[in-house]
Structure 1
Amino acid sequence: MKLTLLSSGLLLSSVLLLNACSSPNQVSQHITADAVIEQVAEGKHQGMYRNTYRLPLGTRQYPATCESDCYPAHPAVVCKTPGQDCQYAGPKQAPALNTGFSLQWLGHASFLVHTPDGQQLLFDPVFGQFDWPINWAQHLVGIIKRPYTPSLTPEQLAATDAVLYSHLHYDHFSHASIRQIGTTPTYYLPLGMANYMPKGGYNIIEQAWYSQSQQGELNVHLVPAHHFNSRKLFNDDNRALWGGWLLEHNGKTLLFAGDTGYSEHFSDIQQRYGDIDICLIPIASYHSDEEQNWYRYVHTTPEDALVAADELGCKVMIPWGYGNASWQMGDLSSHSPLLRMLHMQQQLNSQVPLLILNEGDSVKL
């Protein structure tokens, strides 16, 4: 009898779990009147999204490029070996912006943000390794392994009010992480990305570039990025939009730029929203030499990021993408992008205040 009850209980639990996983997601689209949707209207690429400023590969002109000796050692970057397994030991003095925002860098592109109205948000949360099948391939051939990722407790995850994803690539969008976070938060996605969410009753809002949603007292804007989007090996390239997220509360702004290359879209954002208080901008995954043209087209180099921060009018720039928990995609070492940025900051005489963090660091701005 006990075996029968146990079997029945397991069967009931399995049915309930399957029903939960198959619950439809709630999806709405917030596309305000001044939203911009860059999409191919006809031809074989019909329905695909595209960047605003498109140029043939290799023809884009960049304001600055490091030509030689781009990775000199820096006294504030303490490494076990040159450029590898490092900690930034320099000053972490943030400007007195009084925005009410505070944040923790969780590594790579993931940030935990607390907002002035008491909400908790996550940008591009990816905990641990890649989703299947990339994690399977990773273990099979031993590629791209993250040695350390700051983690959040179940209680911290349960306190999340909203999750904002920038695009579908495996290092920015994780089904495993979404299941850990659960269905309580609102998920903000660029147009078309809801089709790639796991099923299970998630509350999803899709947005176009320059559209706006309301999350508590926050205005949530999707802004352009110069990138691309794909999830599967075939037939889904650029079928979903990509972008960055801008939070606004009582005139104070925080920008998460998402994966992006350098283009005029940074100036466009500043013209529309004014100078940005807090800018979270990537400085890694740009490659060099023969692969420079393609990677740099869709990923900012450290010098591109510094120029972009100036064009955005950033009152403080927090760089990301480097670090001991990074995947080092296209970078020479864990901290080569940071070394290059510190070098180019001097070369360009950049006046944008930098706030440099190690993975897991928290700061109030």
Structure 2
Amino acid sequence: MSTTSVTWWGHSTVWLADSGTTLLTDPVLSGRVAHLRRMAGPIPRLPAPPDAVLLSHLHADHFHLASLRALPGSPPLIVPRGAAAFVAKTMGPAFARRCIELAPGEDTTVGAVRVRAVPAAHDGGRGPWSRERALAIGFVVEGSMRTWHAGDTGLFDEMTSIGPIDVALIPVGGWGPTLGSHGHLDAADAVEAIRRVKAGWAVPVHYGTLWPIGLGRVRAHMFHEPGPRFASLAAEQTPDVHVRVLAQGETLTVGRGE
């Protein structure tokens, strides 16, 4: 049986294995990102160098430079259109030469899978203090199954064109109590997103890992609850979708026909 496996390492970092090809999404391989501290789960332990790294946008909790420098091997970096210049400036020409830039609708092949960029409704800049900008995108990995790594996104009308999807890696929360809803999905919107893409399976991500230093007890429900809340709402509103809430470091393996 053909299978796809996803190991969630917290936030948006997922190890995806399909058809003998391994991909790593938005890697954060440290205990801290700027003012954010890892509050749950171990620091990721990669089993081997990935065949490629998927980077959805320039925000530091998704495009973490120290983690990219720490990656084993020299995997290609599949990045949004416009991001290679940022990589050249911050990491040097050797890293920039590894970049494959994609805009929505464009794709590339990694091993036995095809990686296609899809739209995302999210700010693509590095941050309010930076002039560095690139697109914000998601990815659909097409191998034995179709897996959607949404990156960061809000709802948008064209989301229906992304499906049908076998496995959705869907953001359901954020990293802080003041992050806001613009360009993000909460648990309820994430259920609408998996309905729009006609997902077979859904794994909630982008919650319960990073939190601002010193705010561990401030609105802690926003840290712990998004994944279980998403599962509960999905059971009510999209009962045909299989939802699996993973702990950091846990793996879900899905076979065709499950």
TM-score (norm 1): 0.61
CA pair 255-349 structure 1, distance change in 2 beyond 3 A: closer
| Cα displacement string for residues 157-185 of structure 1 (whole angstroms, at most 9, x for unaligned residues) | 4x311001001111111111111115521
| Cα displacement string for residues 133-174 of structure 1 (whole angstroms, at most 9, x for unaligned residues) | x3xxx3xxxxx42234433447x34x3110010011111111
Shift of 1:200: 5.3
Identical columns (%): 29
Contact preservation (8 Å) 1:225, 1:265: no
| Cα displacement string for residues 293-327 of structure 1 (whole angstroms, at most 9, x for unaligned residues) | x832311111111111111110101111222x233
Task: Give the unaligned 5+ runs of structure 1.
Answer: 1-97, 139-143
Contact preservation (8 Å) 1:213, 1:220: yes
**Residues 73-222 of structure 1 mapped to structure 2, 5 A cutoff:** 99-116=2-19, 118-131=20-33, 134=34, 138=35, 144-153=36-45, 156-157=47-48, 159-182=49-72, 184-197=74-87, 198-199=91-92, 201-202=94-95, 203-222=98-117
> 1:150 is paired with a residue of what secondary structure?
coil
Shift of 1:112: 0.8
CA distance in 1, matches of 2:65, 2:176: 27
CA pair 297-100 structure 1, distance change in 2 beyond 3 A: same
Shift of 1:287: 8.1
Shift of 1:269: 1.4
Give the counterpart letter for 1:236 in structure 2. R
Shift of 1:364: 1.3
Contact preservation (8 Å) 2:44, 2:249: no
Q: Which residue of 1 aligns with 2:121?
A: 226
Shift of 1:102: 1.1
> 1:177 is paired with a residue of what secondary structure?
helix
Task: Find out whether 1:310 has 2:195 as its counterpart.
Answer: yes
Count how many residue pairs are aligned between Structure 1 and Structure 2.
Answer: 244
CA pair 269-186 structure 1, distance change in 2 beyond 3 A: same
CA pair 342-247 structure 1, distance change in 2 beyond 3 A: closer
Q: Which residue of 2 aligns with 1:254?
A: 147
Shift of 1:235: 5.2
Contact preservation (8 Å) 1:315, 1:352: yes
> 2:74 is paired with a residue of what secondary structure?
coil
Contact preservation (8 Å) 1:306, 1:350: no
CA distance in 2, matches of 1:161, 1:279: 20
CA distance in 2, matches of 1:261, 1:299: 4
CA pair 361-210 structure 1, distance change in 2 beyond 3 A: same
Give the counterpart letter for 2:199 in structure 1. C
CA distance in 2, matches of 1:145, 1:128: 9
Alignment RMSD (CA, Å): 2.6
Q: Which residue of 2 aligns with 1:47?
A: none
CA distance in 2, matches of 1:189, 1:212: 11
Write 1 or 2 for the structure with the bigger share of helix: 1
> 2:84 is paired with a residue of what secondary structure?
helix
Shift of 1:334: 2.3
Shift of 1:336: 1.9
Of 326-335 and 228-237, the range deviating more from structure 2: 326-335
Give the counterpart letter for 1:241 in structure 2. L
CA pair 349-234 structure 1, distance change in 2 beyond 3 A: closer
Contact preservation (8 Å) 2:165, 2:198: yes
Match of 2:185 among 283, 297, 300: 300
